[in-house]
Structure 1
Amino acid sequence: MSYLWCRFLVLSLVILLAPSGWANPVQVAIPTSDTKDLTTFIADRSLLDIDNFHQTRRDIALQVLQRQALLLGGYTKPLESREVINNRRILTLVVQGKVAISGISFWLSGLENYREQVWVTDEIIGDGSFVVGMYTTESRLKSFQVNEDLHALVPISNRSWEKDWQALLQFHRREPIDTFNWESVVRMLVAGRADYTLAPFQQTEGMVLNAYGQTLHPIPRVKFLIPGSQHWVVSKIHPEGAAIYRALQLGLAQLKAQGRLRTALTEAGFYNESVIDWQTVNERFIK
């Protein structure tokens, strides 16, 4: 037997007998626009040591909470983020089994056609809880008139954010400006291409939202309600899907029981007592 052939056999055995930690990391699909914020927020900390979410936003908080839930549920295989251009593509990859899990949550109403391909977790945000602000630039905010007709404003969103899109369409009776990701939304607002977008209220002074070097402000005293519940989705086709789903459900139950899920979302500004008495401007348009 030649030396090269023996070497090949040895290497093959090493790979076959290698511990699971040597395996390729399991991919979690996240929006490209979230990658930098997620990496910066986690930094060099252990995931389970993160217990303060004041310095981040809902999307990033939920991605960290998801990974904490997996660990709490007993899933310890390495994970890596796979950057994906938008939410619709993320769901497609999970449905096809090309990634095991989505790092972002989805509305339950948008998952009914995929029940054979994905597992849907218990709710992470309940129906009637998803309240957001109408965010605009400082210069546009200064030009608002006291009795300005909100219906006449030009909103901007992303068509793949289906619930936002539906709420805006129902309120304005026309389609919002469509752009491809969150960074583009911010850039186009600053450029004056639209008047406002929907975004979670922030736990910052004045509830200002800082993104991509820009600052957005909520239009005072008004808020939007987005009906429905949100859930994480796991691929039934991916080989790690079943184990991930079981662990995620167990860990999510722990986060809820300990109050950590609600606390984290409150710290990230999603649940905001400052806007409890603000007017829900689209309430009568909700179907």
Structure 2
Amino acid sequence: MFRILVKFFIFNYFLVRICLADDSVIKIGIPQDVLDDFHLFLADRTPQEVFTYRTKYSSRDVVETVLLFKILELNKNKYQFFTVNSYERAIKLVQSGTIDIYATTVWKNDVNPAKAFFSDEIIRDGEFIAGIYVKEGSELLKKKFNIRTMKFLSNKAWTRDWKTIKNLGPRSLVSTTTWESVLKMINANRAEATLASFPPSRDLVRYNKIVNLVPIPNVKVSISGTRHWIVSRKSQHAQKLKARLDEMVPKFRKKKEFFKAYMQSGFFNERTVPWNVINRKGHL
């Protein structure tokens, strides 16, 4: 009987320790594909050892994750990743307090300000420029550009993308749930085109295991709105995370670290500067 009681107390002691440990770390939401590329991007480095953002694994999502880690200066035992592949679900998990912070920025209008704190603007209004991407080898690359004949694919939860595409007036617009689903449906010819940010590669191709996406040349789209990191108001770390973002984001802005990261990742893309913006900001 004594041994049973000892085992019971030991079990509960370690159970409490585990629960306390889980509560003490910062839970960071991140899509699985971004997490994979984040690890490949870092290789053997820590985020603090990143001084250039030019790698084949670089993208807007990845460099935003690196920037967030630089700002928060988190040690390995101070955080845990929570993979979430749906943009809409990620926002809900932050607002509910299931995760403390999301690794990449989100559109401000998609978030309830009563349930989340916002960082200062990371992507400012007018800075988000996207390409119209189609399957490599698509016949659309050989034809004269006419958006009204194109079948688009996006996600209704990506509200700014959805509204932008709808205003462009394509032949059709279908919704799916995740970026992986977008790739699979385009690969299966169930849709022809989607909006995506430009990569750092010279050919501007978005290489992927599922399907390679190529931009329609000489056209690009402006998506209005601002993007921010968000922190759950229900998080026990909320005040600490908010204070750190409030302190460091202006400093990173002043030393042009955001501009550097976005330029070197291809999101701010020098090669597409002369391309035509086919929509006007006031119409979005």
Short-chain TM bin: 0.7 to 0.9
Q: Which runs of 5+ in 2 are unaligned?
A: none
- Judged with a 3 Å threshold, the aligned counterparts in structure 2 of structure 1 residues 174 and 286 are, in CA distance, closer, same or farther, namely farther
User: Which residues of 2 match residues 45-194 of structure 1 at below 5 A?
Assistant: 45-55=45-55, 56-71=58-73, 78-111=78-111, 114-141=112-139, 144-146=142-144, 148-172=145-169, 176-194=173-191
Taking a change above 3 Å as real, the CA distance of residues 197 and 173 of structure 1, as seen in their structure-2 partners, is closer
Deviation at 1:21, TM superposition (A): 8.1
Alpha-carbon distance between aligned partners in 1 of 2:282 and 2:68, rounded to the nearest angstrom: 33
Which whole-Å CA distance do the structure 2 matches of 1:223 and 1:9 have between them?
A: 64
Cα distance in 1 between the residues matched to 2:132 and 2:9: 63
Residue number in structure 2 paired with 1:28? 28
Q: Would you say the 8 A contact 2:187–2:210 is kept in 1? A: no
Cα pair 2:198 2:266 within 8 Å, conserved: yes
How many Å apart are 1:63 and its aligned residue? 1.0
Equivalent residue of 2:224, what SS?
A: coil
Matched to 2:69, the amino acid is R
User: Whose relative contact order is higher, 1 or 2, with alpha carbons under 8 Å and at least 6 apart?
Assistant: 1
Contact 2:150 2:171 in 1 (8 A): no
1:51·1:264 contact (CA, 8 Å) conserved in 2?
no
1:254 Cα deviation (Å)?
2.3
Measure how far apart 1:32 and its partner are: 2.9
Q: Which residue of 2 aligns with 1:268?
A: 265
| Alpha-carbon shift at residue 171 of structure 1 (Å) | 0.8
Q: How does the TM-score come out when normalised to structure 2? A: 0.88
Which of the numbers 219, 222, 225 marks the counterpart of 2:219?
222
Residues 166, 175 of structure 1: alpha-carbon distance in 2 compared, 3 angstrom cutoff: farther
- Amino acid across the alignment from 1:65: L
Change (3 A) 1:12 1:152: same
1:201-240 equivalence runs, <5 A = 201-240=198-237
**For the structure 1 residues 7 and 149, does the alpha-carbon distance in structure 2 shift closer, same or farther, using more than 3 Å as the test?**
closer
Contact 1:207 1:218 in 2 (8 A): yes
2: distance between equivalents of 1:53 and 1:221?
Answer: 25
When the two structures are aligned, how many residues end up with a matched partner?
Answer: 281
Q: 3-state DSSP class of the match of 1:214?
A: coil
- Aligned-pair CA distance for 1:185: 1.1
Misfit runs of 4+, over 6 Å? 2-18, 20-23, 74-77
Shift of 1:39: 2.2
Unaligned runs of 5+ residues in structure 1 are none
Q: What TM-score, normalized to structure 1?
A: 0.87
Check whether the contact 2:223–2:281 (CA below 8 A) recurs between aligned residues. no
% same residue: 25
Indicate which of 187, 195, 199 corresponds to 1:198. Answer: 195
Counterparts of 1:172 and 1:142, CA distance in 2: 17
Shift of 1:33: 3.2
Letter in 2 for 1:246: A
**Secondary structure of the corresponding residue to residue 54 of structure 2:** coil
The residue type equivalent to 2:97 in the other structure is: G
> Alpha-carbon deviation of 1:117?
1.4
| Shift of residue 286, structure 1, vs aligned partner | 2.0
Question: Deviation string for 1:32-67 (max 9, x for gaps)?
Answer: 332322222223321100122222110111011111
Q: Which residue identity is paired with 1:122?
A: D
How much is the aligned-residue C-alpha RMSD, in angstroms?
Answer: 2.8
Give the C-alpha shift of residue 253 in structure 1: 2.1
Quick one: structure 1 residues 22 and 168, their matched pair in 2 at CA, closer, same or farther if it must change by over 3 Å? closer
Shift of 1:173: 6.0
